[in-house]
Homo-oligomer: A and B are copies of this chain.
Amino acid sequence: MVPRRSLTIDTEKATKTTYVVGTELTVNLYRCAPPQARFFSIKCSPNVHYKVTPPTKDKNPSPYPLTPNSILLITMDTVSETAFDSKLSVRYYGEKTEALEDAVLHLTAVEISLDVDADRDGVVEKNNPNKASWKWGPNGHGAVLLVNCDSETSYKKKVDSEKEDISKVSDLQDMSKMILRTNGPSTLPEGYKLSMYISQTTSESVRIFRPRTNVKKDNVWKHKLLSLFLKDYLMVVGKDKLTQEVPYLGGKTELMFYVEGLRFPDKDFDGLITINLSLLEPSGKDFPETPIFTDKVIFHVSPWIMTPNTLKPVEVYVCSTKDNFSFLKSIKNLVEKNGYKLKICYEYMNRGDRWMQDELEFGYIDSPHHRFPVVLDSPRDGDLQDFPYESLLGPDFGYVARHALNEDVSSLDSFGNLEVSPPVTVNGKSYPLGRIIIGVAFPTAKGGRNMTQVVQEFLWAQKVQEPIALFSDWLFVGHVDEFMTFVPAPDRKKFRLLLASPDAGYKVFKSLQNTGQGKTEMFPGMPEAITVNAILSDKKLQAENRYVQNCIDWNRDVLKKELGLDDEDIIDLPILFKLIEEEKKMSTRAVAYYPDMVNMIVLGDQLGIPKPFGPQVKGRCALETEMISLLKPLGLKCTFIDDFAPYHKLLGEVHCGSNVLREPSPFRWWNLEL
């Protein structure tokens, strides 16, 4: 719909106004007519066009009859060269068509368009008709904004969005371009102004900058020169400055703005941001100006997106501790042999905290013009707590944290308890970025542990990887990565869900017993050594594992439903658990009985699996043999890594002790059908 503006004209005094090409002026001719007027006629400059409603029988009567509903619609199709160079006048006539009075209107025509990349191709097109709305999906529209959560500087650093000015030109890359295109006389008529504004709420989420000096399109050399002097970027609107005049440069010009996102979608922020630009008309001395034309654009802030195991690894992160030299060597071998990068977090930074999986989660943000990884810092805050900010945050490496408010932080807040599935389709609904998976307590349980509300709210608010809550509170440590992971597969849904399964574990041990290997030992040659027969005759252990299998099966049913999986998409891994009593005997929870093989690192088709130390059959570990027989058909290569002393004994395994930065998904989040 064409924007319409009501305008009053006057027989006593000429009216002056500015017209924006593409709009329509409506004049109630009766309202400003002399009381005795009965007819009217119209004259105007050639670039002014008009229509009279309601239409008269005679198409172009001279003069027109005046009725209480007589409305004049005015448009112009070319911009003015000078102020008020166009004119329209209405002559009123009395009963006997005698001329009574004239009402004269002087017009200046300008073009104004606030533009963004609404079609998401990386280029700011001109006046996209959809620029003021957001629509998800491949046929959708709406510009994209990044939270400027990286840090251009690595020394004395600060998250860029927390700085009020632009300290490096490179920071502009993290912002979205917005262009004010104008065309018209060299200056606006006296008293007219352009004004940009945002709402109070919006100002918490966005800041807009522009070069201090007005840059004309042809002054490219000047623009380049400018970029040397950084303080030449001015904040136009932002916190405590909701509105500001912006220059009108005259002729056909473009003024560049840089839009900086400040916060991620969250419980109280849907990610949408509206920016307005108005043309203000002077209302005369002592009166405030009135907006006579408003253009709007909308941005959607990129959500924070997690990367499933099926995406290509870029860099593997592990901690170096006093006691993990050989583990580190195994990881280094696995990683470098396959051409990935390895980053070791040394002890001065980790202070003995080896749980690299738990302190942080890697994700990324994405826009048509730019994208970069963003680490989500867990409220866990162990001795590793400085690592995400101090070692990861940097140029094109963002940082976001959520801090628990009035809640206790529990072990369920560690990000071994935060995973993401590969892409799935569930009952026809597609999740091309997968679904986030977290672990909580059964809501029916009194005194259960949970992931803090702020983190859960953050995850749900990102929307593009709708979370699934599993039940992980049955585990002593309480992380979903203790009983599940995803590996790539060549067939079916292109992945398998691996689940720890005591039943599958018992099946291996029973097979050994059946084939006369009952006396072989689990943990051979280790202080913990125990025969297969002894394991199978331990009724308490069996009851515990029955309970564990029930807990895992409950999660299996949820995962099948929420990820649309069949039994054929799931592989049961032979893993036994045992229950331990917690302090004060408050409750009994599960830990892995031998190294928890599902807690693996997945690097393409290479799996780094905790070495289980199972019974030896013909010189090979029966559990390893079983793992290989389950995973080899998928083209996966198993490397068993000894994590017994430095990880397993401390109730974690390979996955808990590592983290993988992966490439972003080739699927762009705004193409999602929500």
Contacts and interface: CB of A to CB of B under 8 A. Distances in A.
A290 interface: yes
Interface stretch (A31-39, A177-185, A652-660): A31-39
Contacts of A510: 34-35
A14 to B, nearest CB: 13
Given A200-B453, A268-B267, A288-B587, A503 B8 contact: yes
Interface in A1-51: 1, 3-8, 10, 12, 26, 28, 31-32, 34-36
B442 A4 contact: no
Choose among A4, A501, A553 the residue with the greatest number of B CB atoms under 10 Å from its CB.
A553
A277 B446 CA distance: 15
Nearest to A286: B588
B557 A5 contact: yes
Interface stretch (A119-127, A380-388, A542-550, A613-621): A542-550
A111 interface: no
A12 B125 CA distance: 72
Contacts of A229: none
A215 B16 CA distance: 80
Choose among A267, A287, A446, A560 the residue with the greatest number of B CB atoms under 10 Å from its CB.
A287
Interface residues of A, number: 78
A474 B5 contact: no
A514 B444 contact: no
A306 B447 CA distance: 43
Contact of A557 (B6, B278, B444, B453): B6
20 contacts: A1-B561, A4-B557, A5-B557, A6-B556, A26-B567, A31-B501, A31-B504, A31-B507, A195-B444, A198-B443, A267-B268, A268-B268, A276-B443, A281-B550, A283-B546, A284-B547, A287-B547, A287-B588, A290-B554, A291-B444
A353 interface: no
A511 interface: yes
Interface string A488-518: 0000000000000101100100110011000
A427 B507 contact: no
Contacts of A36: 514
A69 B567 CA distance: 8
A199 interface: yes
Contacts of A198: 443
A453 B547 contact: no
A319 to B, nearest CB: 33
A242 interface: yes
A70 B281 CA distance: 78
A554 B279 CA distance: 13
A551 interface: yes
A443 B199 contact: yes
Given A35-B511, A201-B453, A453-B200, A8 B443 contact: no
Choose among A443, A546, A556 the residue with the greatest number of B CB atoms under 10 Å from its CB.
A443
A128 interface: no
Interface in A285-330: 286-292
Contacts of A26: 567
Given A1-B427, A276-B443, A291-B442, 13 more contacts: A3-B561, A6-B556, A6-B557, A7-B553, A8-B553, A26-B567, A31-B503, A197-B444, A283-B546, A284-B543, A284-B547, A287-B588, A288-B587
A132 interface: no
A474 B291 contact: no
Contacts of A605: none
A133 B21 CA distance: 48
A14 B556 CA distance: 23
The A contact surface, by secondary structure, is mixed
A283 B547 contact: yes
A292 B558 CA distance: 11
A425 to B, nearest CB: 14
A503 B29 CA distance: 11
Interface in A582-597: 587-588
A220 interface: no
A290 B442 CA distance: 8
Nearest to A443: B197
A673 interface: no
A243 interface: yes
A572 interface: yes
Interface string A529-568: 0000000000000111011011101101100110000011
Contacts of A444: 195, 197, 243, 278, 280, 289, 291
Interface in A172-217: 195, 197-201
A650 interface: no
A388 B197 CA distance: 37
Contacts of A356: none
Contacts of A515: 35
A71 interface: yes
Nearest to A515: B35
Contacts of A526: none
A484 to B, nearest CB: 14
A229 to B, nearest CB: 29
B443 A243 contact: yes
Contacts of A445: 243, 288
Interface string A237-256: 00000110000000000000
A556 B26 CA distance: 11
Given A69-B568, A268-B268, A550 B443 contact: no
Contacts of A287: 543-544, 547, 579, 588
A36 B512 CA distance: 11
Given A291-B442, A445-B243, A553-B8, A546 B284 contact: yes
